[in-house]
Amino acid sequence: MFTPDRIKIKGKIALSPMAGVSDSPTRQITRKMGSAFSFTEFVSTDGIKKGIQKTIDLFKFQEMERPIHFQIFGNKKNIITDACKIIEELNPDVIDLNMGCSVSKVAHKGSGAGLLRDPIYAGEIINSMAKNVNIPITAKIRIGWDHKSLNYKEVVHILQESGISMLSVHGRTKMMGYSGRADWNIIGEIKSFAKVPVWGNGDITSYREANQKIIETGVDGVLVGRGAIGNPWIFSGLDKETLDFNIIREKIVEHLKLMQDFYSEENGLILFRKHFVRYLHGVRGTLPLKERLLTETNSEKFMEILMSYIPDLSYEKFELNEKLSCNTFSQEEAILS
Ligand SMILES: Cc1cc2nc3c(=O)[nH]c(=O)nc-3n(C[C@H](O)[C@H](O)[C@H](O)COP(=O)(O)O)c2cc1C
**How many CB atoms within 10 Å of residue 203?**
18
What are the CA-CA distances from residue 103 to residues 59, 107, 111, 198 (Å)? Answer: 21, 6, 10, 24
Task: Quick: pLDDT tens for 85-113.
Answer: 999 999 999 999 999 999 999 999 999 99
265: left (phi over 0), alpha (psi -120 to 50) or beta: alpha
Distance between Cα 68 and ligand 1 center (Å): 17
Rounded Cα distance, 61 and 40, in Å: 9
Please list, residue by residue across 300-333, b when 16 or more beta carbons sit within 10 angstroms of its beta carbon and e when fewer do. Answer: eebbeebeebebeeeeeeeeeeeebebebbeebb
CATH classification for the domain delimited by 4-238, as one of 3.40.50.970, 3.40.640.10, 3.20.20.70, 2.102.10.10? 3.20.20.70
For residue 182, the ligand 1 atom closest to its alpha carbon is: 25
When comparing pLDDT for 184 and 323, which is higher?
184
Least confident of 8-17, 214-223, 314-323: 314-323
Rounded Cα distance, 69 and 313, in Å: 42
Q: At a CB cut-off of 8 Å and minimum separation 6, what does 189 contact?
A: none
pLDDT beyond 80 at 84? yes
Predicted pLDDT of residue 5: 55
Nearest one of 128, 193, 192 to 164, comparing CA atoms: 128
pLDDT band at 315 (very low <50, low <70, confident <90, very high): low
Cis omega before residue 92 (within 30°)? Answer: no
Cite the residue boundaries of each domain of the chain with CATH code 3.20.20.70: 4-238
Average pLDDT score, the chain: 92
Task: Quick: pLDDT tens for 152-164.
Answer: 999 999 999 999 9
pLDDT beyond 50 at 3? no
Output Rg (C-alpha) for the chain, integer angstroms: 20
Predicted pLDDT of residue 316: 56
Q: Which residues line ligand 1 (CB under 6 A)?
A: 16-21, 41-42, 71, 98, 100-101, 140, 170, 201-204, 224-227, 324, 326, 328
Catalytic residue among 18, 68, 101, 224: 101
Using an 8 Å Cβ cutoff, are 221 and 214 in contact? yes
pLDDT beyond 80 at 7? no
Using an 8 Å Cβ cutoff, are 259 and 272 in contact? yes
Helical H runs in the chain?
24-32, 45-50, 53-57, 77-88, 104-107, 119-132, 152-162, 184-193, 207-217, 245-262, 265-279, 287-293, 299-308, 328-336
Distance between Cα 190 and ligand 1 center (Å): 20
pLDDT beyond 50 at 335? no
What is the average pLDDT across 296-308?
A: 97
Backbone angles phi, psi at 41, to 5 degrees: -65, 160
What is the average pLDDT across 205-225?
A: 98
What is the average pLDDT across 71-77?
A: 98
Element (H, E) at 97: strand 94-99
Tell me if residue 101 is catalytic: yes
Quote the DSSP letter at residue 210: H
Predicted pLDDT of residue 8: 82
What is the average pLDDT across 231-251?
A: 96
For residue 204, the ligand 1 atom closest to its alpha carbon is: 26
What global pTM score does this model have?
0.93
What is the average pLDDT across 170-195?
A: 98
